Every structure is written in structure tokens, then in C-alpha cells.
Amino acid sequence: MNKPDKKITDFIQKHHVLTLATSTENRPWCANCFYVYSKDENMFVFTSDDETKHVQNVKENNIVAGSVVLETSVVGKIQGIQFTGKMFMPENELKQKVNKLYMRKYPFAKLMTTQLWVLEPNIFKLTDNRLGFGKKLIWKKEH
């Protein structure tokens, strides 16, 4: 498996909220989710209730998009990542693995009854103006 550039994974690991975009029947929806990122597995892990609009959309169309951004009004410091991928419910060993990963970062989640979800990216586009105005770094998963 080809791994994303270190600049991409470092940026993702410095943050903790992603914006998730889903769509069904030409009707888009966005949600914000606390996440943990597994660099080894190249996947985001987050929780969400089964009844949410974004989970209902994913049950019909598991191809999603999203972003993680640094909030700044200084043009020279703009950083953000956009991505596409597949979202799914982990099972068996993967479920155990991501559960440990998520609970280590968010121990309060043990008190909640939500479902773990995995988002496996297939494209990342990092914009980092600190590397030069409009500088983009793109990664695509090999098939």
C-alpha cells in the first residue's frame, strides 16, 4: 500500500475534527466529527449514531468526502486537507483495533452508546500556503 506523504499525515494528526460530506439522491449533507487517525492503517475513526442524517446517507452511498482545516485569517498560514473515500462500520479484529485507538484518545466515549465508523481515504489534497502560495500536495491510493 502506498502511504500518504508525511506532511499530510502530520497535518491530520495535529487536528481532531473533520467535516464529513455525504450525499444521496443529489442531496448533500455535512457533519462534524471528532476523529482519531491511524497512520499505519491510513484511516479516520469516529463515532456517530445510527439515526443521524450522514449515517443514513452512508447506508445508501458509502462514498464520502471531507476536510480538516486550520482556522486562520492569515493567508500565508492557510492549511487544510480535502479527501474522498469509503465509510464503513468496522467488524471483527478491525473493530477491536479501532475501538482501542478511539477510546485511548476519547475515554469519555465509553460513557456513550454510539457506533464506531471508519473512513478509508483514497485521495488527499493538502493545501499549505506556508510551502508557497496555493501549494498543493496530492496523494492517491493505488488500486
- For 87-143, what is each residue's pLDDT tens digit? 999 999 999 999 999 888 888 776 677 789 999 999 999 988 777 777 798 999 987
What mean pLDDT, rounded, does the chain reach? 91
Give burial (CB, 10 Å; 0-12/13-18/19+) of 124.
buried
**Does the pLDDT of residue 76 top 80, yes or no?**
no
Q: Can you give the pLDDT at residue 1? A: 66
Q: What is the pLDDT of residue 46?
A: 95
Q: What is the DSSP letter of 32?
A: E
List residues bridging with 118 in a β-sheet: 45, 88
**What cell does 51 get?**
439515526
Q: What residue type is assigned to position 61 of the chain? A: N
- All domains in the chain, ordered by first residue: 6-140 (2.30.110.10)
11 neighbors 126 (Cβ within 8 angstroms): yes
Can you tell me the distance from the alpha carbon of 75 to that of 114, in angstroms, rounded to the nearest whole number?
A: 38
Q: Is the pLDDT of residue 78 over 90?
A: no
φ and ψ at residue 93, rounded to 5 degrees? -65, -40
SS (H, E, C) 13-28: HCCCEEEEEEEECCEE
* Beta bridge partners of residue 88, listed in sequence order: 118
